[in-house]
Amino acid sequence: MSSRILCRLDEIPDPGSKGFEFGEGAGLRSIFVVRAGSEVHAYENSCPHTDGPLDWVPDQFLTLEKDMIQCATHGAVFRIEDGYCIAGPCTGDSLTPIPARIEGDSVAVDI
Ligand code: FES
């Protein structure tokens, strides 16, 4: 695991989300970051329901109200702060978290 700068903090709306991909082929890794005020949270872009991606539209991982994460495929709803699923077909499961933090004016993860 190594520290990686993903983007500038102001590249993610507040509140808002942004997806990132690393590698290619079988080594492709897809994650997303949610910004909420002075906090950032990162998760693998893999829904516990089917292991598929959560977003149909790039960088859109939140509900219309932007207060929860929502899977676009079957509508599962997850808390932003811990990725716990509170509604939908995988209620009680959780997204896989990735350590994330703000470093100066940038967003960094340990990945
Ligand atoms: S794939 Fe996410 S709710 Fe079904």
Q: 48 in ligand 1 pocket by Cβ < 6 Å?
A: no
Per residue in 12-65, pLDDT (tens digit) is 999 999 999 988 888 889 999 999 988 999 999 999 999 999 998 999 999 999
Output the CA 58–ligand 1 centroid distance in Å.
Answer: 16
CATH 1.25.40.10 fits 3-110, yes or no: no
In angstroms, the CA 76 to CA 74 distance is 6
> What token pair was written down for 111?
């990945």
- Among 68, 73, 86, 95, name the best residue to mutate to test ligand 1's pocket (greatest count of ligand atoms within 8 A of Cβ): 73
> What residues have CB less than 8 Å from 95, skipping those under 6 apart?
43, 44, 46, 47, 48, 69, 78, 83, 85
- Whole-prediction pTM value? 0.95
How is the chain split into domains, by residue range?
3-110
Output the CA 47–ligand 1 centroid distance in Å.
Answer: 6
Per residue in 2-12, pLDDT (tens digit) is 899 999 999 99
- Among 44, 46, 50, name the best residue to mutate to test ligand 1's pocket (greatest count of ligand atoms within 8 A of Cβ): 50
